Amino acid sequence: MKSITTRVINKLLLQRFIIIIVFSSVCSLSWAYSFAYEDLGYNVNSDGKTVTVVTSIKTLKSVSIPTYVSYQNTLFAVTGIGNEAFLDCSSLTSISIGSRVTSIGSYAFRNCSSLTSITIPENVTSIGSYAFYGCIRLKSIEISKGVTCIESYMFSGCSNLASVNIPNTITSIGKYAFEGCSSLTSINIPEGLTSIGTYTFSGCSGLRSFTVPESLTNIGSNPFYGCYNLTTVYVNNNSIMSKSYTSSYSFKNIFGTQVTDYIIGESVTGIGNYAFSGCRSLKSVNIPDGVTSIGSYAFRNCSSLTSITIPENVTSIGNNAFTNCLYLVYVMVERTDPTKYSCNSLAFGNTPLDEIILYVPKGCKNAYAQCTPWKQFQNIKEIGEDVLGDINADGEVDIADIVAEIDYVLSGDYSTQGDANGDGSVDVADIVYVIDYVLNHTANTPVSATQRKSVR
C-alpha cells in the first residue's frame, strides 16, 4: 500500500514538473501564439496563408526572419513582425529580415540594447512607433524606400546612432522620433518631406547643421530642443521663410538660439515677421537676390549680428525689422533709388545708428542722406570708399588683399591704406584680419553682390 501511494505521489510530482517545464517554455516566448518554430512564435493571419512573428525567446543573440515557415504540412509566408515581438531581447546583436515581411510593429525591437545595425529591406512598407526605442548600441540603420513615415519615438534613446539613410519616399517624421540620438552629427532630409513633429530631434547634441527642404510645410514645436551644437541652418523654402511668426514663436524656438549662420536659398522671396527675432547668436545671414520683402521685427534682438546686406530687389522693410541689433557694424544696401523702399523711421529702432556705417551704391550717397530711414545714419559711405580690408581698393576683399597687406607690413609702409582693421596702426593684426575675412567672411567689411553669389 505504501509503495502504491509513493508511486502515485511520484507520478503527480512528475506531472507537476512537466507542467512547470511547459509553462516556463511558454513564458520564455511571452504572448499567446499559434505555433512555435526555431525560437520564434507565430500567429496565423486572417487570410490563413500568412503569419506574423509575435514573440521570441529573450536570450536570442541573432535571428533570421524566414521567408516561409512550415507548420502541420502547411507552408506559410512570413509577412510581419508584430508589436513587441523582440521587446527586451537585450542579447540580440543582429537580425535578418525576410523578403516577404511588409510590416514591423510598434515596440518590435524596443530595448534591444545589443543591436548595432539593421537594414530594412525594400518590401517593408510600415514601421510602428517605438520600434527601435532604447536600442542604445544601434549605430546605423537603412530604411527601405517602401516606408513613407518615420513614426513617433521610432529611434528615441538610440544614443549611438550615427548614420540614418532616409529615402525620398518619407513624407513625415513623427514627434520625438530621434530624441536623444546624441551621436547623430548630420541627417539627410530628402525633398518630399512635408512634416516634422514636436521635439523630433530634441537632444541630438551632436547635430551641427540642418537643411530645410523646399517641400516642408509643417514644423512642430521645439523640434531641435537641446541641439546645442546646431550652428548652421540652410533654408531653401519660401513657405517656411516667409511665414509670419510671433514674438513668442520664431526660428529661435524651431532651431534654437545657438544658431550662428542661416543660409537662405535662391527660391526664397520673403523674410516673414519675427522670423529671426531673438536669435541672439546669429552672426551672419545671406539674403538672396530674389527676396523682395523683410517683415516687421524680422531681426529684432539679434544681438550678435554684425552686418547685413539688403539686396537690390528688396522693396519693403517692416517696422522694427532691425530693432535692438546693438552690435551692427555696417549695413549695406544695393538699391540705387532709396525712395523705392516701403520703409519708415522705425526699421532700425533702438539700434546705434551713430556708430553704424551705411554703405550705399556709388553715386547714391546724397540720395540716401535725404531719405527716411537712411538719413538717420550718421556715417554714410559709398561702396568701395574706405572699405576696411580692401587693401588694393578694388571694392572687394579677397586673396589679393592678403598679398597686398603682407607687402605693406613687410615693407614698413604704414600708410592708412594698410590699416585693415582700422585700429590706427599697420601690423600683423591687419594681416590676420584680412585672412579671417577671406576665409570665413566674418570680418566687419561689406560684401558686394558679386562676392555673395560666389559664396553661394
**pLDDT tens digits along 179-204:** 999 999 989 898 999 999 999 999 99
CB crowding 8-20: b at 16 or more within 10 Å, else e: eeeeeeeeeeeee
- Distance from the first to the final alpha carbon of the chain: 100
Query: What is the model's pLDDT at position 410?
Result: 85
Strands (E), 107-162: 117-119, 126-127, 140-142, 149-150
- CA-to-CA distance for 290 and 306, rounded, in angstroms? 22
pLDDT at 17 exceeding the cut of 60: no
- 216-221: long-range contacts, CB 8 A cutoff, minimum separation 24: 216/189, 216/240, 218/194, 219/195, 219/254, 220/175, 220/195, 220/196, 221/249, 221/253
pLDDT one-digit tens code per residue, 332-389: 999 999 999 999 889 999 999 998 999 999 999 999 999 999 999 999 999 866 556 7
User: Which band of pLDDT confidence, cut at 50, 70 and 90, is reported for residue 28?
Assistant: very low
- CA-to-CA distance for 237 and 288, rounded, in angstroms? 12
Reduced to 3 states (helix: H, G, I; strand: E, B; else coil), residue 444 is: coil
User: Which band of pLDDT confidence, cut at 50, 70 and 90, is reported for residue 395?
Assistant: low
Delimit the CATH 3.80.10.10 region(s) of the chain.
231-383
The candidate with the shortest Cα–Cα distance to 58, out of 36, 82, 89, is 89
- CA-to-CA distance for 237 and 186, rounded, in angstroms? 19
Contact between residue 210 and residue 237 where contact means Cβ atoms under 8 Å apart: no
The candidate with the shortest Cα–Cα distance to 41, out of 93, 80, 97, is 80
Mean pLDDT within 405-420 = 75
**Average predicted confidence (pLDDT) for the chain:** 87
Number of Cβ within 10 Å of residue 302's Cβ equals 26
Residues 6+ apart with CB under 8 A from 2: none
Q: Which CATH superfamily is domain 231-383 in?
A: Ribonuclease Inhibitor (3.80.10.10)
- CA-to-CA distance for 187 and 200, rounded, in angstroms? 12
- CA-to-CA distance for 62 and 131, rounded, in angstroms? 17
Q: Say what the pTM is.
A: 0.78
Can you give the length of the chain in residues?
A: 456
